[in-house]
Amino acid sequence: MTESISSQNAIEIAHLSKVYAGGKKALDDVSLNIPRGQIFGLLGPNGAGKSTLINILAGLVNKTSGSARIWGFDIDVNPRNAKNSIGIVNQEIMFDPFFTPFETLENQAGFYGVPKSERLSMELLRAVHLEDKANAYARTLSGGMKRRLMVAKAMVHSPPILVLDEPTAGVDIMLRQQLWDYVRELNAQGVTIVLTTHYLEEAEELCDRIAIINHGRLIANKPTRELVDMAQEKIVIVTVDRDGAGLPSHPCFDKVEQTGERVFSITFNKDRANAGDVLGAVQALGFGIVDVATREPDLEDVFLNLTAAA
């Protein structure tokens, strides 16, 4: 494979648009660079366009306009090299149920032209904790096992980029953790990981950088920490010293919720007030404060704010 000389980016997407037959605009002028060596999260609500983007990179959907380069290879000019540079785990589970996991990986390696002596089928099965199922029929595997087999299948040609489209949907928590351990391990070995997930907590924990797509448009693309810091809302939870008909409104409060007996969860905007202002306001309304806790905003808050505003 001719090594690309172009840049430090694993994937470069410029002005990518997709209009499906029937007129649905699934991607609208998306430009996005995914740096090499990262775990990159692509988030967005249902129908935002994430799968369309990934399927264009996989060569499964034709773009309407724009360009994309994978490991420096333009998907139009050099489709074969582009395809060889990426392994994709789709949302749907796709393999022949009559082959064993070992045969499934061997067949896939053959499809990519990997010589027999260079195949890694058993190593891959071991890595995804399926070595004891190597010779079972794939149709007898559980949902979580099938998904892990899909990940192994995407890695048979040792691509420098692994894309996981909702890889943990329907996978229980323990297996999800094992899958992420493997993904982290691959990343530590230098594989660039791109994943879409609905689990914001997971994205926050795993990803170096996160892009958010909404209605086919890119609405954010930042290091995870910066994105989380964008949350404008903060929450103070106060326990007051007496029963009342609830806390009256106050200019400092964006939202007040009673979450327990004498316990109120008060949301405020960190640009307009601080926790001291909020507590002062509670006291000024005639309540004594017995206890205080704060909750930091997380990615879910940012996500909801951004997608609601867009």
Give me the residues that bind ligand ATP (CB under 6 A), please. 20, 22, 24, 26, 44, 46-52
Q: Please identify, using beta-carbon distances, which residue of 48 and 256 lies nearer to ligand ATP.
A: 48
> Which backbone phi and psi does 103 adopt, to 5 degrees?
-65, -35
Under 8 Å between Cβ of 19 and 26? yes
Whats the size of the chain, residue-wise?
310
Q: How far apart are CA 292 and CA 280, in angstroms?
A: 12
Q: How far is the CB of 116 from ligand ATP (least distance, A)?
A: 37
Question: How far lies 225's CA from each of 4, 153, 230, 301, in Å?
Answer: 31, 32, 9, 13
Q: How far is the CB of 269 from ligand ATP (least distance, A)?
A: 30
Q: How far is the CB of 301 from ligand ATP (least distance, A)?
A: 20
Under 8 Å between Cβ of 213 and 30? yes
Q: Please identify, using beta-carbon distances, which residue of 188 and 308 lies nearer to ligand ATP.
A: 308
How many other CB atoms are found less than 10 A from the CB of residue 80? 10
Amino acid letter, 162 = L
Q: How far is the CB of 15 from ligand ATP (least distance, A)?
A: 17
Amino acid letter, 267 = T
Q: Please identify, using beta-carbon distances, which residue of 51 and 192 lies nearer to ligand ATP.
A: 51
Q: Please identify, using beta-carbon distances, which residue of 44 and 144 lies nearer to ligand ATP.
A: 44
| Residue from 271, 222, 296, 159 nearest 32 by CA | 222
Q: Please identify, using beta-carbon distances, which residue of 26 and 152 lies nearer to ligand ATP.
A: 26
Q: How far is the CB of 52 from ligand ATP (least distance, A)?
A: 3
Q: How far is the CB of 142 from ligand ATP (least distance, A)?
A: 22
DSSP per residue, 60-111: SS--SEEEEEETTEETTT-HHHHHHTEEEE-SS--S-TTS-HHHHHHHHHHH
Q: Please identify, using beta-carbon distances, which residue of 49 and 72 lies nearer to ligand ATP.
A: 49
